[in-house]
Chain A
Amino acid sequence: GAGVSQSPRYKVAKRGQDVALRCDPISGHVSLFWYQQALGQGPEFLTYFQNEAQLDKSGLPSDRFFAERPEGSVSTLKIQRTQQEDSAVYLCASGPVGVPSYEQYFGPGTRLTVT
């Protein structure tokens, strides 16, 4: 079956540009997470959705970052006025239910490079 997919896989943006990163979770998965993974670091939590509800956005580093999941399936992470420190791999993960014992299934990530 299809796993989590993300697009684009690679994105190069000039500083100041807006970008939109897409995540297609596994069909029927309730939970959806976004993470930011800087080079040589572990994934850092950005935000969490349960269906279409954004229950936790405490990890979003600034108000330039915005995420949505309007119909409870596909999610988009938008970064406005990109800065060089935004360069990282952005990972999306989905899970079957919103309880802590269920593992997450990760997408391949989008590598964002801001020049």
Chain B
Amino acid sequence: AQSVTQLDSHVSVSEGTPVLLRCNYSSSYSPSLFWYVQHPNKGLQLLLKYTSAATLVKGINGFEAEFKKSETSFHLTKPSAHMSDAAEYFCVVSDLTSGGYQKVTFGTGTKLQVIP
């Protein structure tokens, strides 16, 4: 069975300082990993994804994430937070089941607050 753990339910940073949102996963096979962002009253938007190519993945809006298999982690970072980054972020793991179809599991989310 696969699972995702987002270690912080809330993260608060000052504008212009780095962002770190932590995610650990477990999966039986070789998963694909994603980060999605959800702004208030908006739909879920893909930030970036890892699919067994480069372990450092760059996404939109200056975000990036590094896949570390030994640590089963996929933490999301950004060098400098912007006010518009305030939102909820979800780490997602996707894998093939023994039945040959896609299984997707969301983390519980991390709310990012950016202080001016």
Contacts and interface: CB of A to CB of B under 8 A. Distances in A.
A44 B106 contact: yes
A103 B105 contact: no
Contacts of A56: 97, 99, 101, 103
Contact of A95 (B43, B99, B102): B102
B44 A45 contact: no
Contacts of B104: 33, 45, 48, 100, 104
Interface string A33-52: 10100000111110010100
A103 B108 contact: no
B32 A42 contact: no
Interface residues of A, number: 26
B25 to A, nearest CB: 13
Contacts of A44: 106
Interface residues of B, number: 27
Contacts, number: 61
Interface string A96-109: 00111111101111
B85 to A, nearest CB: 18
Interface string B81-110: 000000000100011110101111111110
B67 to A, nearest CB: 13
Q: Closest 7 CB pairs between A and B?
A: A100-B94, A101-B51, A106-B44, A42-B106, A101-B32, A42-B109, A100-B32
Interface of B: 31-32, 34, 36, 42-46, 49, 51-52, 90, 94-97, 99, 101-109
